[in-house]
Structure 1
Amino acid sequence: MTPLGAPGGTPAPAGRLRAPVASRANALHPGAWWLWALGLAVAASRTSNPLLLGLVVGVAGYVVAVRRTDAPWARSYGAFVKLGLAVVGIRLVFSLLLGSPVPGAHLLVTLPEVPLPDWAQGIRIGGRVTAEQLVFALYDGLRLAALLICVGAANALANPSRLLKSLPGALYEVGVAVVVAMTFAPHLVQDVVRLRTARRLRGRPTGGVRALLRIGLPVLEGALERSVAVAASMDARGYGRTARVPAAVRRTTHVLTLGGLLGVCAGSYGLLAAQGAGYGLPLLVAGLLAAVAGLRLGGRRTVRTRYRPDRWGARAWLVAGSGVAVAALVTWSGAAVPGAMRPGVVPLTAPELPVWPALSVLVGLLPAFVAPVPEESVRP
């Protein structure tokens, strides 16, 4: 008998428990990864401390490194990291060229200033560049980059097809449209590569206008055939059939869904604002509950079944709960040390790492130990 938690029948070291190897039976629900990543993003939005932001990015990167698969969507994390670095660079360039309202005493350089008309007062191009304004722009850019990297972690860990399949019945049509749109582009690229390879093997040119026209026609024909096949399969599976629901239920669904979305928007704004933590979280929770109730009621009109639906098990609760815990703990502990969460730049001082918010961010490492291990990671 193999020890508890040994992946693939491989004996685990004595006294050490390991997460199981990922399979179809114990696959983690993709929604859990998104809740975990959004929790890290909320924590990143509550601070401009570069040390805490670097810790959030490190936690997200470590979990992605040990729990992502070899699937095509898992490669998107690097693109989000590059996008985040580009955002930091663009923010610094804008601050360098357009200036900043932050006063500074450490002058770095004076750029030629472009004279502007009177109606453009408050805007300048060029002029004095201080160390304080560049540090302020760096902090601001790092926060936005951390948000993008957290979203990239969710994209790299959550299977998009399974996530769309888990959508509630009220969003069934949207999910089908997104699936068709997501599968169209990869098939189109595969057809182009296949036809260009075939022409190259036959000794025919693959570049130029004539080759493009000869390749484009078969590609469009194949796309049309696939569209007809998808439409036929959707019709055979009863797509578009709706059940009759009372008018009162429809009105209640609209009120709950619209009110819930407004509550989510207001709550998200409160969490992102500097002084909105007191009302942001209650509004966000109330909006989510109302939106879920509206989507639940709206799903009654859609008659459909799911083949092998994803289960929300104990590991999904732990992964999602770790993200929610990070957001709540950072928001709560940050209220005790507001100066360390948002270090000032006037006067220019080195940022300090607050202990309790840093320990709160480390809770986000829990998925690296409880989420199922990808099969690629345990191959000999």
Structure 2
Amino acid sequence: MSDDAPESDRVPGAPHPRHAEAAVGHDHAIADFLAAAGAQRLHHAWLITGPRGVGKATLAWAMTRWLLSGGAPGDLRLPPGDPVARRVAALSEPRLHLVRRGFDQKTGRLKAEIGVDDIRALLGFFHMSAAEGGRRVAIVDAADQMNGAAANALLKVLEEPPEGGLILLIAHQPARLLPTIRSRCRELRLSPLAPEDMTAVLAGLGVTEDAEALSALSGGSVGEALRLAGQEGLKVYRQIIELFETLPRFDRMKARALAEAAGARATADGDPFDLRVTLLDLFLTRLARAGLLGAPVPEAAPGEAALMARLCPDTDAARVWAGAQADLSARARSGRAVNLDPAALVMDMLTQLAGLGPAHAKA
């Protein structure tokens, strides 16, 4: 892969997880790993699971650096300037092998999946490095992106683990993995980050403005927060709030502007249609939850709490909004999959939602 080619395991606009100094907010998982290492019960394969963007890859790279450096007990952090950390960051550490979706030079795009040749290269890495002895580590990011042949090839590696070898599998959707792969791994399950951890991580990445709102809207996922920040997601979400504040009148000019922006061409930074449907999903989810638990704190946009208290005052309204979320977003994405006009799809979605508002709003 050339230096300027996109990396499938990196959020656009953010540094690669291998450059993060530490994994934040996952103390229980770190403690479990370090306890196993300290007791000389280090499993040969670890499956790191959890929602997308919560720091699974960051933890895997921290574990890798610690393992290859000989790791001091009790802490995954390495001293500043550690030579292993420098080599890992540069992808020049010979005892490390990374498996991820590659870049197709012919199409100019990332490949859709991890193929069997990628796993065969992993086999070659373990065989060639076996004679040198010592610890060797492989990271597969993400394991649930393997095709069937690749999954079967990896299973053979797990069934006959190489001596001194350790495999870290990252999975956003572990249910997509073969049960036999999951059964041969020790799982570290990560949860969404707490708001204070999110703020700390975002600050470390240079995102200080609107960090609280990004944290609220991203559900504890740093990756999602960075995606929203890079695509002006908070600005779009505020437009959604401002539109629904006009109910029951429903400002069609605001709705049309929001819908027409969804028809812009997708770029390497993201898809405007997908962003708007995702944010409408989030709006409806937070709206339905307001009828059950009260208005959200903190707000993701000015006026959000008051709007949700008005549109979803009780559990009956919550059921209606939840049903709309499940139905309309699925229909919008299905329509986009068959190349229907994205602006028309979003406008239809907004119009139907506007029809629900007056019937369930608090007088």
TM-score (norm. length: structure 1): 0.22
Instruction: Indicate the structure with greater strand content.
Output: 2
Structure of greater Rg? 1
Structure that is richer in helix per residue = 1
Q: Highest relative contact order (Cα 8 Å, sep 6+), 1 or 2? A: 1
